[in-house]
Homo-oligomer: A and B are copies of this chain.
Amino acid sequence: MSFWRVLKSNCGTVSMSVSLPVFYSLSFLTAVIAFLFALYLYLWVKRERVENRRIEDVSRLIAEGARTFMRREYRILAIFASVVAVIIFLLLPSPIWNGNILDNILMVIAYIAGTVLSAIAGKIGIMVATLSNGRTAEKAQHGLKDAFLIGFRGGAVMGLLVVGCSLFGVAAVLMVAGDPTILLGFSFGASSLALFAKAGGGIFTKTADVAADLTGKVELGIAEDDPRNPAVIADNVGDNVGDVAGMGADLFDSNVAAMASSLVIAFSLSDAASAIEMVFCYSILGLIASMIGIATAKVGKDGNPTRALNSSTYVTTAVYLVLTAAATALLEGFSWRIWIAAATGLLVGVVIGITTDYFTDDTKPIVKRVAKASATGPAFTILSGISYGFISAIPAMAGIAISALVAYLVCDPIGPGYAIFGIAMSAVGMLSIVGMIISNDAYGPIVDNARGLAEMGGLGEETIRVADELDSAGNTVKAVTKGFSISAAGLTVISLLGAFMSEANAALEAAGLPLIAGFDIMDPKVFFGILTGASVPALFSAMLILGVDRNAERMVSEIHRQFNSIIGLKEGNAEPDYGTCIDIATTGALKELIPAGLAAIGATIIVGFIAGPSAIGGFLLGNIVSGLLIALLMSNAGGLWDNSKKYVEAGNEGGKGSDAHKSAVIGDTVGDPFKDTAGPSINTQITVVSLTASLCSALFVAFSIF
């Protein structure tokens, strides 16, 4: 049904409240305010000067390297997106020879808009991040306070852009197309980009990290950020590429998917107009709450940056809950039941963050236990890390399960379809603070780079200590944001399952076939889908990890070549060729990523054409279950190993150079591609697969074998 028709009919008949189309229109205004706020923060960061020449040079190299990666990535993405756009034009939402050609054109436009908006947000975000790192390093000479603010505000630009773009994009696509199905195309565009940015960036960053460590720390015995190492700039670029652009694209993707699936479901409800308004209203209030949180973030002269980051997250959460409660109380057609679903989603997200912290923070027992196991030998580092990684997945999985159950029980009484709408809204609720989460996450690579720059620029012990403190806060928060983003993706994909069912039923209805009432696990077609779907994240993550291995090997050979052929490099009298390393990381990352992405999408299409839409329902479920488990295991075990290495380096269990340290370093090396490549890429894989399924549902209905 057309969007305008729904809005009009509902405004005319169901409710006369003037509030109804208000929030939908306000989305544009709020997005613009967020953009202006981001511009203000950018100018605020830019105002600072960089005076240390060395820092300026290196910082420029990092910025250039990041640009190189992004340019190359976007070029390949453009080819990929063009192919996909042609396929969409021919086949989606229905084959061009059967359906309305205008819908196909709109779908193509929406798809391209999704990739372009996400790409712009990523591009600007990374530009500001690479602008902020040198400035943070310089400011660290004068203490924590201002250095923290530069790092944080530099990251907040990305946070605001991502949420602003997603809100703006969803509202605009809905306005132009008037049909929520087209939104799925927009969301698919965002997902394609996220696949490249997150998984490609993840391979890039770990290729550089692993190769730099292997040649530098292990073979040559030089420090992590030693400028003689040809891979050192690539390593710093990688942090930005993986954590700023990658995580931003990932959460853009989740956020759009959560809104899109809520809206697809909202359109099928009895009071569709109110439901649509609620989606927009809650999203707007989330953005406002994030802006307030960002504005209030600060740290005292001798304060604690971790606490500062956490407390602004709590401020955002509280403001959001109050604002949405007020809106629900004041506005006609807004249901308290749905508020409860959204609030539960958000609170569960916060609790998941806290439990992740328990498993990865080095002041808590688990990190210490893994460090202790490292003293026995590297095998025990690995065994204990994987065991606690598995255990750490459980609170998040239980949290998602509980939040879905609560949303169902609370919203089901409203009427048919509201149970699944409640689940979608709990994903929207969980993602409401995403602006704040991205800001915290992007802060990480900025201060991590700043630490390296302070060392390379020779800013002295005290400055490095300050930078270290900022960096350690970044690491702690990073583990939390990863747990959060995986869980948010999990909850979102459940609502995408609902969206898939709506789409499949629309196609079945059009074909005059019986509708799907649900996906029964006792139906062997569904069961077949579940097992094959569960295999996909295993395959995808394995391919990415093996890709990092292969790519790192290539880069290690290049580093060896440079040390052998560039005279004076070892002694520090000649510059290494940083660019070639960046090139290798870039080309290799994209080469390794594409087969993995195609395998996931291909499996979905094959299962769909073999066993039809009911098998795909199972496929998506299996994909979610094993994807969540593997993603949480990998992210958390990786964070755990990283921090337990740092804990040993801080002088525990024998400190640096001890056997425990050697074991802990092995754990950390295993953890690197776990936590920065495979683990967090799985959410993107899940979303891509879910959207592929929804978009192809009509084709599966028409052409499946069984």
Using a CB–CB cutoff of 8 Å, the interface residues on chain A facing chain B are 214, 218, 373, 376-380, 382-384, 386-388, 390-391, 393-394, 397-398, 400-402, 404-405, 407-409, 419-420, 423, 494, 497-498, 501, 517-528, 530-532, 534-535, 538-539, 541-543, 545-546, 548-549, 553, 611, 617-618, 621-622, 625-626, 628-630, 633, 666, 669-670, 673, 706
Contact = CB atoms under 8 A, between A and B. Distances in A.
A541 to B, nearest CB: 7
Contacts of A373: 549
Contact of A617 (B390, B401, B521, B628): B521
Contacts of A534: 397, 625-626, 628-629
A388 B531 contact: no
Given A535-B393, A538-B393, A549-B373, A673 B383 contact: yes
B530 A625 contact: yes
Contacts of A214: 376-377
A558 to B, nearest CB: 15
Contact of A524 (B378, B407, B528, B611): B407
B423 A524 contact: yes
Given A387-B546, A388-B542, A545-B387, A398 B531 contact: yes
A405 B525 contact: yes
Contacts of A532: 397-398, 401
Contacts of A520: 517-521
B521 A383 contact: no
Given A214-B376, A378-B378, A420 B538 contact: no
10 interchain residue pairs of minimum CB distance = A518-B520, A408-B524, A379-B669, A401-B531, A387-B542, A390-B538, A390-B542, A401-B528, A394-B535, A405-B528
Nearest to A527: B404
A419 B524 CA distance: 9
Contacts of A517: 520
B625 A379 contact: no
Contact of A397 (B400, B531, B670): B531
A457 to B, nearest CB: 31
A545 B386 contact: yes
A626 B629 CA distance: 8
B379 A670 contact: yes
A402 B528 contact: yes
B383 A538 contact: no
A539 B398 CA distance: 12
A214 B545 CA distance: 29
Contact of A535 (B398, B408, B539): B398
Nearest to A517: B520
A498 B518 contact: no
10 contacts: A373-B549, A382-B670, A387-B541, A398-B532, A401-B527, A498-B522, A518-B523, A519-B522, A531-B625, A629-B629
B400 A531 contact: yes
B611 A405 contact: yes
B669 A539 contact: no
Contacts of A409: 524, 706
Nearest to A545: B387
A628 B423 CA distance: 28
A210 B379 CA distance: 10
A553 B376 contact: yes
A383 B670 contact: yes
Contact of A521 (B386, B526, B545, B633): B526
Contact of A384 (B386, B387, B394, B549): B549
Nearest to A494: B527
**Most chain B CB inside 10 Å of its own CB: which residue of A420, A553, A626, A669:** A626
A524 B405 contact: yes
A391 B518 contact: no
A621 B534 CA distance: 12
Contacts of A538: 390-391, 393-394, 629, 633
A404 B535 contact: no
Given A397-B534, A401-B531, A545 B383 contact: yes
Contact of A394 (B391, B525, B539): B539
Give the residue among A402, A521, A523, A548 with the most B Cβ atoms within 10 A: A521
A364 to B, nearest CB: 17
Contact of A626 (B376, B542, B625): B625
Contact of A404 (B394, B528, B630): B528
A666 B519 contact: no
A541 B548 CA distance: 28
B521 A377 contact: no
A521 B525 CA distance: 13
A548 B387 CA distance: 11
A521 B521 contact: yes
A574 to B, nearest CB: 27
A18 to B, nearest CB: 35
Contact of A518 (B398, B521, B531): B521
Nearest to A617: B521
Nearest to A533: B625
Contacts of A376: 214, 553
Contacts of A378: 378, 666
A501 B522 contact: yes
A325 to B, nearest CB: 24
B390 A541 contact: yes
A663 B538 CA distance: 24
A549 to B, nearest CB: 6
A545 B382 CA distance: 11
B618 A521 contact: yes
Nearest to A540: B390
Nearest to A520: B518
Contacts of A501: 522
Contacts of A621: 521, 530
Contacts of A535: 393-394, 397-398, 629
A247 to B, nearest CB: 22
Nearest to A633: B538
B404 A546 contact: no
A522 B420 contact: yes
Contacts of A548: 383
